[in-house]
């Protein structure tokens, strides 16, 4: 597993981009997309140091936002998403969402799991 990005829950993506830009230099921004499978609007930012932040807005994160929780998940890129999901579940992780295409990542498969330190997203590398 290789670290890919931090998922950030936000109420308004445009306002959050402006807030982040006031603190960090954003060198790349993906188009905003609406992912029906996640019922969320998404954008991926790359900061000058290479850090990637995925901003998530919509029903998917409303509960987090109401509690003032913005940290949503960590994402790790993996070579074989099915094998990695099986390995993590065998180690005690709880599968939240099985592998499915994600529009933000050009339909590469993603899966969400709950592990001891919170929710993680796995992103298939190909």
List the beta bridge partners of residue 20. Answer: none
Residue 37: pLDDT band with limits 50, 70, 90: confident
Find out whether 88 and 113 touch, Cβ atoms under 8 Å: yes
Nearest to 84 by CA among 51, 56, 121: 121
Look at residue 126 in the predicted model and tell me its pLDDT: 83
The CATH number of residue 75's host domain is 3.10.180.10
The pTM (predicted TM-score) of the whole model is 0.94
Whether residue 38 has pLDDT greater than 90 = no
In whole angstroms, what is the distance from residue 82 CA to residue 76 CA?
14
Total domain count for the chain? 1
- Please give the sequence-ordered ranges of beta strands (E in DSSP) within the chain, or none if there are none: 2-9, 26-29, 33-35, 40-47, 52-57, 71-78, 94-102, 108-115, 118-124
**φ/ψ bin of 59: left (φ > 0), alpha (ψ from -120 to 50), beta (otherwise):** alpha
In whole angstroms, what is the distance from residue 42 CA to residue 93 CA?
25
Domain that includes residue 36, residue range: 2-124
Q: Percentage of the chain with pLDDT > 70? A: 100
């Amino acid at each position: 597993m290789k670290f890919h990005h931090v998922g950030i829950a936000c109420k308004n993506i445009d306002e959050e981009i402006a807030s982040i830009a006031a603190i960090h230099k954003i060198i790349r921004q993906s188009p905003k997309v609406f992912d029906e499978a996640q019922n969320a609007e998404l954008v991926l930012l790359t900061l000058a140091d290479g850090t990637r932040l995925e901003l998530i807005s919509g029903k998917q994160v409303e509960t987090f936002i109401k509690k003032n929780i913005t940290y949503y998940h960590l994402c790790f890129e993996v070579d074989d998403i099915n094998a990695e999901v099986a390995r993590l579940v065998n180690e005690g992780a709880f599968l939240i969402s099985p592998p499915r295409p994600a529009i933000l990542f050009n339909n590469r498969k993603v899966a969400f799991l709950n592990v001891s330190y919170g929710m993680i997203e796995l992103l298939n590398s190909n």
